[in-house]
Amino acid sequence: MSKKGKRERRKTDTWREKTWYDIYAPKSFKNQYIGKIVGKNPDFILNRTIETLLYDFTGDFHDITTVLRFRVLKVEGNSCETYLVGHQLTKDFIRSLIRKGVSKVQMINNYKTVDNYIYRITSACTTIKKARSSQIVTIRRIIDDILNSFARDLKHEKFIRGMIYGEFSHQMKRVAKTIYPLFEAVIIKSKLISSPSLEDQEAPPKEEDFEIIEPEIRRTVKSQIARAKRVNVQKLTYKKQRAEKMKSAQKEKVEQEVSDKKIEENINEEVVEVEK
């Protein structure tokens, strides 16, 4: 029997048909160059997501744990415009925040800026020891009040800057540690849920300081009593320690004086014997 020859398929090198496109960050990140991406045509490039580190924009090693996500909005020639769709901390950094015998206070909520951008933010605080349920509820309420206050007053360009560069986390920790000592307070993740118009993005805002938010802290009666007891106990222990230090100092002084007198008496006795 004769063997039928197999049809030879024509091999085509699809890689040669693809082209490289330059990716640029949005105006809120000063249109900084991110990198290159390959695609067959612009239709394959649109809506593609690119991840990069915040370290590439700042050059600070503290930002190496923050991952930014951009999505391609428009392709013009070989250059692509993008917009920010969110950010996230690396998993190893998040695991380093959790320790044995501590409490993790986590919250996920949507926040709407002045220009109608809605972000879903995942925030978390870790305490140095185990906290009570009432303290956890109060800390979660403080975080929500601070983020709501910023969202009501800021546009999304400045809201992004405070969310990514740590200003919101700093103010969360400053207020929440008055309820219970905290190890860290961070924004773990953010995601853009909806936006009015992505093509009409504004230039980056001026480097203006953020307002200090002082939310109203509604403590329970038990927490107020416990806080008053802690303060009184600290004052009492401080007074006791101070009194003990003063007593020990006086005792050492008296002992030193007694030893000096004995030395003088011995010297006088020796002098008298020598004169005799």
Q: Are 57 and 32 in contact (CB under 8 A)?
A: yes
Please tell me the distance from the alpha carbon of residue 141 to that of residue 227, in angstroms, as a whole number: 19
In a domain, 2, yes or no: no
- Please state whether the predicted TM-score (pTM) of the whole model is above 0.75: no
Predicted pLDDT of residue 205: 54
In a domain, 57, yes or no: yes
**Which of 69, 89, 109 is the endpoint of a domain?**
89
Predicted pLDDT of residue 11: 59
**pLDDT at residue 59 tops 50:** yes
pLDDT, mean of residues 255-270: 73
In a domain, 207, yes or no: no
**pLDDT at residue 232 tops 60:** no
Please tell me the distance from the alpha carbon of residue 211 to that of residue 171, in angstroms, as a whole number: 10
In a domain, 1, yes or no: no
Predicted pLDDT of residue 251: 80
Predicted pLDDT of residue 230: 46
The residue type at 217: I
For residues 98 and 80, state if they share a domain. Answer: no
**Which of 45, 72, 89 is the endpoint of a domain?**
89
For residues 138 and 239, state if they share a domain. Answer: yes
* Angle of helix 167-176 versus helix 133-153 axis, rounded to 10: 140
Q: Are 79 and 119 in contact (CB under 8 A)?
A: no
The domain total for the chain is 2
Q: Is residue 113 very low, low, confident or very high in pLDDT (cuts 50, 70, 90)? A: very high
Runs of H (alpha helix) within 110-220: 133-153, 156-164, 167-176
In a domain, 8, yes or no: no
In a domain, 4, yes or no: no
pLDDT tens digit sequence for 194-225: 988 766 565 555 555 666 666 666 655 555 54
CATH of the domain at 110: 3.30.479.30
Which residues constitute the domain of residue 71?
A: 18-89
Predicted pLDDT of residue 210: 64
Predicted pLDDT of residue 233: 46
State the chain's mean pLDDT as an integer.
81
Q: Give the phi and the psi of residue 196 in degrees, each rounded to 5.
A: -70, -50
For residues 237 and 147, state if they share a domain. Answer: yes
**pLDDT at residue 5 tops 60:** no
For residues 117 and 228, state if they share a domain. Answer: yes
In a domain, 77, yes or no: yes
**Burial (0-12, 13-18, 19+ Cβ within 10 Å), 179:** buried
pLDDT tens digit sequence for 137-184: 999 999 999 999 999 988 888 899 899 998 899 999 999 988 999 999
